[in-house]
Amino acid sequence: MKTKITEMLGIDYPVIAAPMFLVSNPELVAAVSEAGGLGTFPALNYRTPEQFEEGLKLVKSLTNKPYGVNIITNKSNIYQLKHLEICIRHKVPVIITSLGSPKQVIGQAHKIGSKVFCDVTNLDYAKKVEGLGADAVVAVGYGAGGHAGKIVGSILVPWLVENLNIPVIAAGGIADGKTLLSALALGAEAGYMGTRFIACTETAVNEAYKESILASTPEDIVFTARVTGTHANFINTPYLEGMGTELGFLERFWNRFSFTRKWFKMYKGYRAMKGMGKSASTGKKKAWKDVWSAGQTVGLIQDTKPAAEILREVVREYSETKKKLP
């Protein structure tokens, strides 16, 4: 399964375990990388830069294969410069940027030979990060877990492929070999898989979260800015139903102007991180304020198993499906 991404990173399969807030832990990252994919995790999974560095050291102790770290690069992440400094010092192979300009990350990462992938949801921003020197873009389509765009992947991916000169990675709607094959057929050089890896044995989220992944359908996923201030996909728990999916009057007012919008999103993001942390944590009963990020691929997920086994099944189904095509 050679693609531009597998050759760029020296990995066996064009499968990237998406960096999921409060879900992607060192054990998951290492398991995916050891199985031939690329494991990644967000720096913000740790409350302090010092804790992040310890987590990074743990990943490096568990695997010598390529892995990646996601850095939020807008003002809501007050630790972004420290996160970058730690990544550079530890020579992290891949840095993935989200929700802000990747300019500084690209400049620093390229000095040590690291690659930078940038989350994008439209062509305009994709061209900007390509101009800044990004090594690839992650096309986050409608239906992806967490923060996502409003364009379906089957349109977004080929649109970007046609207009960019760097590899495109498809994110959203990939959970098995068939959906990975469809993404590569559209021109993607790799597929992001997030939601499928929530339901694996390595993740340390509470069982209620995993059970909700298995029980939910695509119709149970809601796309709303109400939780974090930026549109994202979540499982429609009773708490979210009660909260509603539309911004209130005051929220719409603060979101109208660029200056107030920045502080509004910082406030919403901080509140959301705390709430999602409590919802995902282990050792507790199901809470009435459950806020669980997930994509529409929940409808394709039927069981919980080790990450390496998930990856093997994806590769096997990819090959079997490809052979059946006329």
Which domains occur in the chain, in start order? Answer: 4-202+303-324 (3.20.20.70), 207-297 (no CATH)
Cβ neighbours around 134 below 10 Å, total:
24
Percentage of the residues of the chain whose pLDDT score is greater than 90:
73
Name the 3-class secondary structure at 233: strand
Angle at 116 between CA 170 and CA 91, to 5 degrees: 130
Cβ neighbourhood burial of 61 (10 Å; 0-12, 13-18, 19+): exposed
Distance CA(287)–CA(44), nearest Å, equals 23
pLDDT of res. 267: 47
Amino acid occupying residue 252: R
Contact 134, 8 (CB under 8 A): no
Q: Which residues of the chain have pLDDT under 50?
A: 249, 264, 267-268, 279-280, 286-288
Query: How many H-runs (helices) and E-runs (strands) does the chain carry?
Result: 14, 11
What is the spatial order of strands in the sheet that 146-147 belongs to?
A: 146-147, 232-235, 221-224
pLDDT of res. 224: 86
Cβ neighbours around 225 below 10 Å, total:
18
Contact 279, 222 (CB under 8 A): no
Q: Which of 12, 145, 38 lies closest to 96, judged by CA?
A: 38
Q: pTM of the full predicted structure?
A: 0.87
Contact 84, 105 (CB under 8 A): yes
